[in-house]
């Protein structure tokens, strides 16, 4: 029997179980979906716009510095690699 035929038989059997009511719905569920969340919802503290602006500026500076450092390291590495390749 082909795989398509066995798939069709499986689907037919599952439909029969649902139609006849032989299978009680959600019998094997563990009940996790019905539980209420036991955690407290976290509310963010109120921040003033000028503080947020300062934080944004600091983060931009930090990222700019890190980008420059990475570029310098990459350039040094590339020059050393090129020197090593041309010396051989």
pTM of the model: 0.46
What pLDDT shows up at residue 22? 59
Q: How far apart are CA 44 and CA 41, in angstroms?
A: 10
Q: How far apart are CA 19 and CA 21, in angstroms?
A: 6
Q: How far apart are CA 13 and CA 47, in angstroms?
A: 60
- Looking at the domain assignment, is residue 23 inside a domain? no
- Looking at the domain assignment, is residue 26 inside a domain? no
- Looking at the domain assignment, is residue 7 inside a domain? no
**Range in 6-10, 15-19, 74-78, 79-83 the model is least confident about:** 15-19
Q: How far is CA 34 from CA 3, 29, 41, 61, in A?
A: 37, 10, 18, 47
CB distance 23 to 17 below 8 Å: yes
Model pLDDT for residues 49-85, shown as the tens digit of each residue: 999 999 999 999 999 999 999 999 999 999 999 999 9
- Looking at the domain assignment, is residue 50 inside a domain? yes
Number of domains in the chain: 1
Domain range enclosing 83: 46-88
In the predicted model, what is the mean pLDDT of residues 18-41? 62
């Amino acid at each position: 029997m082909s795989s398509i035929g066995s798939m069709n038989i499986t689907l037919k059997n599952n439909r029969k179980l649902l139609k006849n009511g032989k299978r009680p719905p959600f019998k094997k569920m563990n009940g996790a979906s019905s539980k209420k969340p036991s955690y407290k919802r976290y509310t963010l503290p109120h921040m003033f716009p000028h503080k947020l602006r300062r934080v944004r500026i600091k983060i931009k500076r930090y990222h700019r510095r890190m980008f420059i450092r990475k570029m310098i390291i990459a350039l040094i590495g590339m020059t050393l690699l090129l020197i090593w390749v041309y010396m051989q």
